């Protein structure tokens, strides 16, 4: 993709998603994640009416007169976008590929965060960490994130969600609002998610295509594994073949739902041909 075409794509996504974040998600995002807690600001002399529970006894003993700790509400958050860019994201049977919807959702969330003057970071992962962009503020930073989502070429087509959570725990020591965008056709990430969820506010956004849910009866068909590139002949006329695939797919979906729920994390399920706007708004309102 040449520079001119890339900039045109970035601009198109910015116009669409910024309008959504300005008019729909900005307020919802702010009200959903406003529970930020209090941070220490300064120490000053005790004044009549101050809460005695805020007395700093070490400073009081040093100066032989009462001092209190002053706290203020944390105004800023850090949002981390964790995006699966493995081979299975390049799939779509309807209007758009999964990775195109993922890019739009990520951009909408990022612009919503900038309205709150929050920092936004990005982790692109396959079975390895492909790219890490540390959290920063501002429109130009968000546009860089969108550019990477559009044009980044991963070294691997495989998936390891657990490795991504492990990296998150290592690199983000302070609490962050984390959105993980993937089809979650994976498992073995329960423990790493549990550890990460102990520190961060995590939401999994499962983006999937209706064509993945079941194999239609098309006779003998050659299929390619999107992550390994392996070509295999599949007898889709076989009821047991279709049932085995359905069981495999449902196992992965149930693992995602159970694992996120048990870790205290949120979940959003968004089919490519459905409105992600309604899905996000519904989730924000339920949480708010």
Domain residue spans of the chain: 3-33+75-287, 38-73
Q: Which residues pair with 124 in a beta bridge?
A: 83, 131
Determine phi and psi for 183, rounding to 5 degrees.
-85, -10
Mean pLDDT in residue range 28-52: 71
Mean pLDDT in residue range 96-125: 90
Instruction: Give the helix ranges, DSSP H, for the chain.
Output: 3-20, 26-32, 57-63, 98-115, 139-151, 161-171, 190-197, 239-262, 276-287
Percent of the chain with pLDDT over 90: 47
pLDDT of residue 74: 54
Interstrand relation of 67-73 and 38-45 (parallel, antiparallel or unpaired): antiparallel
Question: How far from 144 is each of 119, 151, 192, CA to CA, in Å?
Answer: 13, 11, 28
- In terms of phi and psi (left: phi > 0; alpha: psi -120 to 50; beta: otherwise), the region of 184 is left
Least Cα distance to 46 among 58, 54, 38, 35 occurs for 54
217-226 burial code (b ≥16 CB/10 A, e <16)? eeeeeeeeee
More confident residue, 28 or 190: 190
35 has a pLDDT exceeding 60? no
pLDDT of residue 214: 84
Question: In this predicted model, what pLDDT tens digit does every residue of 156-180 receive, in sequence order?
Answer: 999 999 999 999 999 998 889 999 9
Question: In this predicted model, what pLDDT tens digit does every residue of 114-140 receive, in sequence order?
Answer: 887 889 999 999 999 999 999 999 889
Q: What SS3 state is found at 12?
A: helix
Question: In this predicted model, what pLDDT tens digit does every residue of 246-256 receive, in sequence order?
Answer: 999 999 999 99
Mean pLDDT in residue range 254-264: 97
CATH, domain range 3-33+75-287: 3.40.50.410
pLDDT of residue 124: 97
77 has a pLDDT exceeding 70? yes
């Amino acid at each position: 993709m040449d520079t001119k075409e890339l900039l045109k794509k970035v601009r198109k996504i910015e116009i669409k998603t910024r309008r959504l974040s300005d008019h729909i998600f900005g307020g919802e995002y702010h009200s959903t994640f406003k529970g930020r807690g209090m941070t220490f600001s300064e120490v000053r002399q005790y004044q009549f009416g101050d809460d005695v529970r805020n007395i700093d006894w070490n400073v009081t003993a040093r100066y032989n007169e009462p001092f209190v700790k002053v706290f203020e509400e944390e105004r800023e958050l850090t949002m981390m976008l964790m995006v699966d860019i493995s081979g299975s994201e390049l799939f779509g049977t309807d209007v758009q590929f999964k990775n195109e919807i993922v890019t739009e959702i990520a951009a909408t969330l990022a612009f919503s965060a900038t309205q709150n003057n929050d920092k936004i970071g990005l982790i692109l992962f396959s079975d390895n960490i492909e790219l890490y962009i540390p959290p920063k503020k501002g429109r130009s930073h968000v546009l860089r994130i969108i550019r990477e989502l559009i044009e980044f070429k991963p070294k691997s087509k495989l998936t390891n969600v657990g490795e991504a959570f492990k990296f998150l725990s290592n690199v983000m020591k302070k609490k962050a609002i984390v959105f993980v965008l993937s089809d979650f056709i994976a498992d073995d990430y329960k423990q790493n998610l549990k550890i990460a969820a102990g520190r961060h506010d995590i939401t999994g956004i499962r983006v999937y295509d209706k064509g993945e849910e079941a194999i239609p009866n098309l006779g003998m068909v050659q299929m390619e594994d999107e992550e390994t590139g392996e070509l295999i002949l599949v007898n889709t006329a076989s009821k047991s073949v279709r049932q085995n695939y359905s069981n495999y797919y449902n196992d992965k979906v149930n693992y995602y739902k159970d694992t996120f729920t048990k870790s205290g994390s949120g979940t959003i399920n968004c089919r490519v041909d459905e409105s992600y706007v309604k899905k996000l708004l519904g989730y924000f309102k339920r949480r708010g």
